[in-house]
Structure 1
Amino acid sequence: MSICHILHFSPTGGVENVARLVGDAVAQTLGMEAVPCDLAAPHVSWPSFSAGDVILLAAPVYGGRIPGFLAERLEELRPLTNGRQIPAIALVVYGNRAFEDALLELADKATACGLLVMAGMSAVAEHSMCRSVAAGRPDAEDAAALRDFGRQAAEHLRAAPVSAPQLPGQRPYRQWQAMQIAPTASVACTACGLCASRCPAQAIDPAHPQTSDRERCILCMRCVKICPAHARALPAPVMAMLAEKLGPCLERRDAPALYL
């Protein structure tokens, strides 16, 4: 049986939730098996690709771009495609602010790695830093739309060859630089080491998990999300700044979009 490979970079789970909704619909429509792959794992177990497979490549949006760490990690995909143009769907997930150039960048990166991007999507999930923004999303309304988009995209792939989708965004991509901060732990930290073992960038020393290496940290917030003691957080002034900046995003509801 051919496979719909759901390649997702989802440190806090929102991207994976969206990708599973879309990927399962694609797989069901095309009569394929849906198989996920966690690109945020410290060491990725890349799948092998066969003729007839399709790929759903899903990424979060950081400052209107895809994470630089993910862009570098996708270089590992290039030799695995063996020069074949594997049909693909590019999907970006953002925290209800904007996705700007991220979808175009993801599609460009996928194309450079040997994928044939035939469709693009954007969707909203709970903001990874300010969780009151888009809280609870993707919700039931999102899920219905995303499943429908997955079916439409699958039918589009089945009708190949088709022209490349017209995706929003501009080249050169917008300039963005991550804040030079990192989550730290409170006295509630039990030094269990879970954060260190799951950090995509390996920015946390297992022997001293109370702090993170700012040079390596990509602010993906996985360590904050998975801490069983709820001991990790960004500094309070940073959270206050983010809450003020993202305040307008609380008052609107961005909808998923499909680009064919």
Structure 2
Amino acid sequence: MKIKNIYAVYFSPTGNTKKIACFMAEKMAEQLNCPHKEISFTLPEERNQTYTFGPDDFVVIASPTYAGKLPNKILPDFKEKLKGDGSPAAALVTFGNRSFDNSLAELCAVLEASGFQTVAGGAFACRHAFTDKLAPGRPDEADLKELAILAERTADKLRNTDGIFSPVNVDGDADAPYYVPKGMDGQPAKFLKAVPKTHEELCIRCGACARLCPMGSIDPEEPGNVTGICIKCQSCIRGCPQQAKYFDDPAFLSHVAMLEENFAEPKKNHKYL
């Protein structure tokens, strides 16, 4: 089949999922000799519109893994705002060195239900949003080489078919429940209501945290005021130029410590065609 356009669509609060999506789209564009564009799906205003793709568009759609699945507060937007018309797609997820569990299966199911044809999939280990001690520096050069191979093989698959694809078979169960975070004591760590705090003596009221929040939940005039849902994405933490944002919730910190103790060994990527 002939592809005319390639798109990278990503929800990426801390940047690594964007890196994965855009890299694959760029490599696919090189292989298929067509233009590529990127569409951020991260900020609230970026998720207000519906994006519709045609049968000669190839779409790389990427999301981080949250508790073993897609981010639950963003899931409705994935379902309602991304529409395909038989559009071939690659489903990509990133995970912070624990496991992607069922996120890739869920993303594939969502895309198939929205008119896409999933022709490739991948789960790539990236630095954990919570801590630099898990998958530090990833995606690295070796990860991108793997992704380049996936892009090359996906391009071959597109060139050698007539446009009708069976859904890609990936690991996981789209209907499985979310992973339950554990603390250092092995018991469930309950931190759903935890919100980032602000070192007032460091904050310069630049508004970066408010602009970066994918839920629009930080008051730009009073950055210490969290007015809505926090999905623990760490965008405000990692994006603050003064390092003024932090979490002090005991259950959250216990969960991070558990992850650091038990999931430091580098995990492999998973690729599907």
C-alpha change, 1:109 and 1:257, in structure 2 (3 Å) is same
Instruction: Give the Å deviation of 1:3.
Output: 1.6
Partner of 2:29: 27
- Look up the SS of the partner of 2:122 in the other structure: strand
Aligned: 1:254 with 2:267: yes
Report the secondary structure of 1:54's partner residue.
strand
User: 1: CA distance between counterparts of 2:235 and 2:43?
Assistant: 10
The 1-side partners of 2:43 and 2:174 are apart by 30
What letter is aligned with 2:244?
Answer: A
Distance (whole Å) between structure 1 residues aligned to residue 91 and residue 27 of structure 2: 15
2:81 alignment partner in structure 1: 77
1:187-234 CA distance string (max 9 Å, x none)? 211121121122111111122211324x51111111111111111111
Q: Of 45, 48, 58, which residue of structure 2 is paired with 1:54?
A: 58
Counterpart of 1:7 in 2: which secondary structure? strand
Any unmatched runs of 5+ in structure 2? 181-190
Please say if 1:131 is aligned against 2:135.
no
User: Which residue in the other structure is 1:172 paired with?
Assistant: 175
Q: CA deviation at 1:51?
A: 4.3
Matched, 1:211 2:225: yes
Aligned residues: 255
1:151 aligns to 2:129 (yes or no): no
Distance of 1:127 and 1:116 partners within structure 2: 30
Q: What is the CA deviation profile of residues 124-173 of structure 1, one whole-angstrom value per residue up to 9, with x for unaligned ones?
A: 11000112110100111111111111111222233333322211112422
Report the aligned-residue RMSD.
2.0
Contact 1:146 1:256 in 2 (8 A): no
Native 8 Å contact 1:37 1:47 kept in 2: no
Q: How does 1:217-228 map to 2 (within 5 A)?
A: 217-228=230-241
Q: Secondary structure at the match of 1:87?
A: strand
Match status 1:11 vs 2:13: yes
Kindly provide the CA deviation profile for residues 17-47 of structure 1, in whole angstroms up to 9, marking residues without a partner as x: 1112222111211112121111102211665
Partners of 1:5 and 1:34 within 8 A in 2: yes
- Confirm or deny: 8 A CA contact 1:14 1:125 kept in the other structure: yes
1:114-125, aligned counterparts within 5 Å?
114-125=115-126
Contact preservation (8 Å) 2:170, 2:272: yes
Deviation at 1:258, TM superposition (A): 1.2
Check 1:245–1:132 CA distance in 2 against 1; reply closer, same or farther (3 A cut).
closer
Aligned partner of 1:17: which letter? K
Letter in 1 for 2:255: M
Q: After alignment, is 22-31 or 100-109 more displaced? A: 22-31
Residue identity in the other structure for 2:93? V
Secondary structure, aligned partner of 2:53 = coil
Deviation beyond 6 Å, 4+ runs, structure 1: none
Partner of 2:198: 185
> How far apart are residue 257 of structure 1 and its match?
1.7
Give the Cα separation in 2 of the matches to 1:207 and 1:18: 34
Q: Percent identity?
A: 27
Alpha-carbon deviation of 1:71? Answer: 1.1
